[in-house]
Amino acid sequence: MLCQDCGKRPATLHFTKIVNGEKSEFHFCESCARERGEMIPGTANGFSIHSLLSGLLDFEPPGGGQAAQPLRCETCGLTYSQFSKIGRFGCSDCYRFFDGKLDPLFKRVHGNTVHVGKVPQRTGSLIRSRREIDRLKRDLQERIAREDFESAARIRDRIRELERRLADG
């Protein structure tokens, strides 16, 4: 979506204003938002979504963010500190170089480190059943490792029941 003011740059700031019960939506690039005065009051350089997220998600390590040796992508040279400011990686290798810091970030943002997607309500029963079987199999392995064989047997029976239902259609 392009900025509705200049029509040149991508709209990165989306405002919804409600005045006297009337809702108005605005989509601006950062430059046009700054020119129009659409910023968060009290911020030094205006509104930056990346600064907001950096603060909320605690991108920087404790101690002011100055590590002895900054974490840097060997391919593009982007540092983790730069990533926390701009909110984007410089290249595809950044995922590998910053891997250790990404899992906690994904956990805070998404609540998990693995994407599972959404399942349609009407037609997703097959997918939900398979996911339930996978979850029960993991649980079964945990119970066996803890030598909780009675619970493991109940889980095994539940897995067999679900697999039989899937086979029957």
pLDDT digits (tens, 9 = 90+) for 75-100: 898 888 888 777 788 888 888 888 88
Render pLDDT for 30-57 as a digit per residue (tens, 0 to 9): 788 777 766 554 455 555 555 555 555 5
**Taking residues 112-134, what's their average pLDDT?**
79
- Cα distances (Å, whole numbers) of residue 165 to 67, 123, 129, 157: 55, 16, 9, 12
Confidence at residue 152, expressed as pLDDT on a 0 to 100 scale:
95
Q: Which comes out higher in pLDDT, residue 64 or 26?
A: 26
Q: What is the DSSP string of 116-135?
A: -----TTT-HHHHHHHHHHH
Over 70: is that where the pLDDT of 141 sits?
yes
Over 70: is that where the pLDDT of 62 sits?
no
Q: Which comes out higher in pLDDT, residue 43 or 25?
A: 25
Q: Which of 157, 118, 159 is nearest to 138 (CA)?
A: 159
Confidence at residue 145, expressed as pLDDT on a 0 to 100 scale:
94
Q: Which comes out higher in pLDDT, residue 23 or 43?
A: 23
Confidence at residue 59, expressed as pLDDT on a 0 to 100 scale:
53
pLDDT band at 157 (very low <50, low <70, confident <90, very high): very high
Q: How many residues does the chain have?
A: 169
Looking at the chain, the whole-number percentage of residues with pLDDT higher than 90 is 20
